Structure 1
Amino acid sequence: MNNLLEQIYKLGIIPVIKIDDVEKAVPLAKSLIDGNLSCAEITFRTSQGEEAIRRISKEFSQMLVGAGTVLTVEQVDRAIDAGAKFIVSPGINKKVVEHCINNNILIIPGCSNPTDIEMALELGLEVVKFFPAEQAGGLNYIKAISAPYTNIKFMPTGGINISNINNYLSFNKVIACGGSWMVKSELINEGSFNEITNLVKQAIATMLGFEFAHVGINMENEKDALQSASLLQKMFNFNVRNGNSSVFSSEFFEFTKTPYLGKNGHIAISTNSIERAIYYLELEGFEFNYNACKKDPSGKYVSIYFKDEIAGFAVHLVQKKK
């Protein structure tokens, strides 16, 4: 997977934007950045799209700007000249795709059936847009048509919103989702940029899905760990589970058999995606201890610790089971 696709994966959400008034483009981009979502797919549905891409790219170099609803080779060239880093099209136009490939431009064309997917694979693509996602059958349809194709991933767009985005992102063949619910045209045209920022923050929080998992308490030995867990069992009828390195009392209290990270112990926070959580938290300035992490056989993070403690407790992320 190339670097741009890796970045799109970490972002998870790609705002799909229709610009009616180019003067709104830069304030809109700032509202996305303020919400920590430095990405925008500006569609060519209006005559303002090209200039909007140009202004955003010039003003915010950190912004990953793409061009959407690209239908012709000429539009590809105009979009790239304006500063677009990737191209998205509603369907798979062989001439447009080949032009992008020949010029080393990332293109994510729309596909909605096996014939489209096989054409994309023949052209050497690894990610396609599934459009219109909800109207074409949603996640169940993606799972069904993708089964024979192990090397293709999807970016569903169309009908995606805050209530269903995690259903799509939970499928390992979905790289990210395109959506417009946080950047609706009426919000942009009204200049409701603070509301857009809040909706973006809400979308990211929903995607990451942070939840308290458990608290770990450092004990000196197995005897003390079992004694503490048994006390909670006697008090609250919590089940005790004796593991290799710690003893759990219910799913929320862990007593280590030897002291580990953290003066007092650790706090575990679960998330829908550790990779995306790391990306967004590092944007906020938080640091991670990459020497204190666990990965599964595929190389995906299972857990990772933050660099700093909170009130004497180390803090780590744990991956929710999908």
Structure 2
Amino acid sequence: MTEKIDLKLDHAFQDVPIVPLIQADDPTVAIATANALQEGGLHVVEVVLRTDAAVDCMEAIVNETSGIIVGAGTVLTDDQAEQVLSRGAQFIVSPGLVDSVAQYCLERSVPIFAGTMTAGEVQRAYALGLRTVKFFPAKLAGGVPMLKALSSVFRDMRFMPTGGISADNLHEFLAMPSVVACGGSWLTPAKAIEQGDFETVTRLAKEAVAVANNGRKAGN
């Protein structure tokens, strides 16, 4: 079984190929963060399962916002995949490649971005039927040069680099035709969110959108 393109998500990435990560343990804060990102022009978010209340935060964003595509990140097991999907997740992101989690999502036509960092992992993902994978941790795994090498071999694979992406190198990754989007936490700095400074989140989002627009032009 080969993954089917999710048109809504694909169109969102064509508009703005950036996926900010939200880590929160308070649904109210999670909603405010998502709204600030949306105000800055970002309409896809990944809520990472790194706090005890992460699933509640994700569900709150799903139910209390409009026009935002909400995914769950740091999904490690089939049970977690089932849980987040039952609570409204529209796509799943994993730090690594686990066959059973990938197959669970493929069987349900749920977009999954499974983490890969080597040619062997990308080939395994390809054999499972995945055509879009996460490249993680992008900077430590070799960055743009490594992605260029992988893209030359796996010509119909697309990648979502995450890990070490910042405003400084975002344009380099987005200039690559094989990159569908970039994920990162630089858009949601913990200190600003702890202080309730959501204006900073919106400003960073706007800056990233501008960089993304220029980066895509450079790649054409």
- Check conservation: 2:21, 2:47, Cα contact below 8 A: yes
Instruction: Name the SS for the 1:128 alignment partner.
Output: strand
Contact 1:128 1:154 (C-alpha < 8 Å) held by counterparts: yes
Runs of 4+ in 1 over 6 A off after TM superposition: none
Counterpart of 1:65? 70
Larger radius of gyration: 1
Following the alignment from structure 2 to structure 1, what is the Cα–Cα distance between the partners of residues 57 and 192?
16
- Asked if 1:95 is matched to 2:75, the reply is no
Residue of structure 2 equivalent to 1:2 = 6
- Report what 2:138 is aligned to: 133
Q: Secondary structure at the match of 1:147?
A: helix
Deviations 1:272-313 (A, max 9, x none): 43xxxxxxxxxxxxxxxxxxxxxxxxxxxxxxxxxxxxxxxx
**Matched-pair contact (CA < 8 Å) for 1:17–1:184:** no
Residue 190 of structure 1 is aligned with which of 195, 200, 217? 195
The one-letter code sitting in structure 2 at the alignment partner of 1:16 is L
Contact 1:19 1:185 (C-alpha < 8 Å) held by counterparts: no
Kindly report which structure 2 residues correspond to 1:53-202, keeping only aligned pairs within 5 A, or say none: 53-202=58-207
Matched residue, 1:22:
27
2:42 maps to 37
- Unmatched runs of 5 consecutive residues or more in structure 2: none
The structure with the largest helix share of the pair is: 2
Q: Report if aligned partners of 1:21, 1:189 keep a CA contact under 8 Å in 2.
A: no
RMSD between aligned alpha carbons?
1.4
TM-superposed deviation, 1:123:
1.1
Residue 45 of structure 1 aligns to a residue whose secondary structure is coil
User: Structure 1 residues 164, 320: CA separation in 2 closer, same or farther (over 3 Å shift)?
Assistant: closer
| Distance verdict in 2 for CA 1:115–1:321, change over 3 Å | closer
Higher relative contact order (CA 8 A, sep 6+): 2
Q: Indicate if the aligned counterparts of 1:88 and 1:108 stay in contact, CA closer than 8 A.
A: yes
Structure 2 Cα separation of the partners of residues 70 and 135 of structure 1: 21
* TM superposition shift of 1:27: 1.0
Shift of 1:320: 4.8
Q: Which whole-Å CA distance do the structure 2 matches of 1:9 and 1:111 have between them?
A: 22
CA distance in 1, matches of 2:192, 2:95: 24
Q: Distance in 1 between matches of 2:87 and 2:13?
A: 20
CA deviation vs aligned residue, 1:157-198 (integer Å, no higher than 9, x gap) = 000000100100101111110011110222222211111111
Are 2:175 and 2:219, in contact at CA under 8 Å, matched by a contact in 1? no
Once residues 219 and 201 of structure 2 are traced to their aligned partners in structure 1, the CA distance between those partners, rounded to angstroms, is 31
For normalisation by structure 2, the TM-score amounts to: 0.93
TM-aligned CA deviation for residue 321 of structure 1: 6.3
Identity %: 36
